[in-house]
Amino acid sequence: MAEPSVPVKKAARTFDLQAMMNQARLGAQERSNIDWTNEIEKTKEENELRITEMKIKADEASKKIQSSTNNNNINDGDDDDDFGPSIDLATAPTNDNEDTSSDDEDEDTSKPVEEDNDRLDDDEQPFFPLTHEIDLKHGTKSVSCLTIDSNGERLISGGFDYELKMWDFPTMDKTLKYYRAISPCESHQLRSIEFSPGSDMLLIASGSCQAKVISRDGKNMYECVRGDMYLIDMQKTKGHVSTLNRACWNPKDLNEFMTCSDDGTVRLWSLIRRTEHASCIKTKSEQGKKTSTTTCTYNTYHTHVTQNEYLITAGCDDGSIQIWDRRRPFVNVTFISRHAHEPENSITSLCWSYDGRNLASRSTDHTLKLWDIRNFKKSLSEYNDLHNRFSMTNVTFSPDDRFLITGTSTRKKTNDNINDSTNVGAIYFFNRNNLAQPEGQIQVSDAASVVKTLWHPKLNQIMCTTSNGIIKIFYDTIRSKQGALLFANREERQKKANDFFINMNIINPHALPLYRQDRVRNLSVIRMKNREDPVKSKRPDLPVSGAGSGGRIGVHGGTLSSYIVKNIALQKPPAQKEDSRAILLSYQEKCEQEPYWVAPAYSKTQPQAIFQSSTQDTNQKKEDDDDDDDIVPLWKKQKT
């Protein structure tokens, strides 16, 4: 039998720190003695070899490309009008289908060509999403503002009823109720509303002189400073002093926006700078006087024409269009068309095309014009007989930049035009290349004018506002996306039992006084008790008698007028004024007999003073004698 092994105790391992330090020191010395020059030379040689290999491959690829282009040029030499790969190359037979005949190949290749031609013809034809429409009821007055976010989920409208209403498309149904209504500018008409480029803020220009920035849900975030109306130079004021006409965001700088006003200025603002404007531009007439600025717009969201990226455009009340370059001082105008529209007719809208080449203008002279700033003296094309009597009527480009749309106003009905079929509110569509004839039109209302128009690029839906408080949305069920399609056929949500909260009264006669509830009594009894309570009945304060109490002053002197009347009534009549001269002369004899101060020093040299006896004696003497040599008193007759 083997004896059990005795457990061996493990000894702790010991380390010689001094030896470890010496070993590390020797290793560092060896590494420092290594010659790194050889390794650097090796890496250089490897990099040079890689570069040469890459050059050889690039030369071979360029030779292959040149040879292929030469072959194509030889094959295409017969038909100069053809372009692209030849039909034979595009439909070359493979090993799998070598047995197919050449006639079948020709028939197969001809079919896609015809289909492509049909597609091109369809694209060239104008298409407008006008198959269906929906009416949103904003109110009874004119709707002057309209904007929608970039995603097409929330529509904002504002009008002459001072209200701003939000329409949330994802949550709407057939009832067509708005999401929220606010009055951001109190009792001022809303003239311009625009979403920020990030769709998180709203810029509002109203009939006041202060623009506002609110959040997406209506919370106040920024308000412009009011200017000093008593200063003549508008450059010295910190803000506008007259009614605002237009406000728009800078599409590139999310913290900057621009406003224009009737005070003849265009001002640039920054959300970071709250005390005053960032820049001020003054618009002047042909005579050098200030003229009201009716509209303004940026051109920085157009990226195709780089020289037009920094332009600020403004339309004035004298019919002129003025453009400034931000890279230069705003003292002088960069481009100007002094007689763009008829004088004394304000320009209601300016809109740049998406490619940044052309500018469209709409005015109260009932015209629509298209401009090119390279030849700004004369318009490219124009169309007349577009009646406009609203200062907010705008013009917009289509998403594909091929068409322009604008609304028309109704004329005042008289005996001459009461049966005129053209006296209606309509939307006109124009081809950008030629405004001589409209591509089409659609009647919106018989008796109301079209004020604002909008063509959303993502939704492909046309929206417009009218002067009778209606917002119309035109769409196509096939080519339009989301927007009105979300709620057009959505049924109204049925209310469930959980939506109602019923306050049930639990009657427990044996409950403790702390948890006992009052019994519901008759409504007439509750009203009688509330009528006796001065707080709940809101009883007016009784008149105070006496000196007053509780911070209220008595009846006499409660107001400023009563206080003044009280003091006048209680004031004693002033005593008869005394004659100060007579009082001083009463001390004459005493001073002559007992001089005290200066008189003794001049007693011998001082001449004898002769004083007038009194004013009463002279007045009597004047009445008796009418001679001019009488002594006249040295002061006016005192009032009694």
Asked whether residue 441 is assigned to any structural domain, the reply reads: yes
Q: What is the DSSP letter of 284?
A: B
Asked whether residue 211 is assigned to any structural domain, the reply reads: yes
**Residue matched to tokens 């006669």:** 509
Q: Which two tokens stand for residue 226?
A: 């009011």
| H-helix or E-strand spanning residue 485 | helix 484-487
Q: Which of 396, 391, 404, 389 is nearest to 448 (CA)?
A: 389
Instruction: Report the alpha-carbon distance of residue 540 to residue 558 in Å, rounded.
Output: 16
Three-class HEC string of 588-607: HHHHHHCCCCCHHHHCCCCC
> Which value, in Å, is the radius of gyration of the alpha carbons in the chain?
46
Residue type, 555: V
- Which residues span the domain enclosing 235? 143-452
Asked whether residue 137 is assigned to any structural domain, the reply reads: no
Asked whether residue 282 is assigned to any structural domain, the reply reads: yes
Distances, alpha carbon 250 to alpha carbons 98, 256, 261, 299, 301, in Å = 63, 6, 18, 9, 8
Alpha helices in 1-145 (DSSP H): 17-32, 37-75, 87-90, 102-124
Asked whether residue 387 is assigned to any structural domain, the reply reads: yes
Given this model, what pLDDT does residue 520 score?
Answer: 63
Give the dihedral of Cα atoms 166, 168, 173, 178; nearest 10 deg: -10
Tell me the three state secondary structure of residue 76.
Answer: coil
Asked whether residue 115 is assigned to any structural domain, the reply reads: no
Neighbours of 389 (CB within 10 A): 15
Task: Collect the ranges in the chain with pLDDT lower than 50.
Answer: 1-2, 73-123, 302-304, 629-632
Given this model, what pLDDT does residue 559 score?
Answer: 63
Q: Confirm if 313 and 300 have CB atoms less than 8 A apart.
A: no
Q: What are the two backbone dihedrals, phi and then psi, of residue 586, each rounded to the nearest 5 degrees?
A: -70, -20
Q: How many domains does the chain have?
A: 1
Q: Is 316 exposed, middle or buried (0-12, 13-18, 19+ CB in 10 A)?
A: buried
Given this model, what pLDDT does residue 280 score?
Answer: 94
Asked whether residue 442 is assigned to any structural domain, the reply reads: yes
For 482-533, what is each residue's pLDDT tens digit?
Answer: 899 999 888 887 776 666 555 666 777 788 887 777 766 677 778 888 888 8
Asked whether residue 396 is assigned to any structural domain, the reply reads: yes
In sequence order, the 6+-apart residues with CB closer than 8 A to the CB of 227 are 209, 234, 237, 238, 239, 240, 241, 263
Beta-bridge partners for 146: 157
CATH code where residue 227 lies: 2.130.10.10
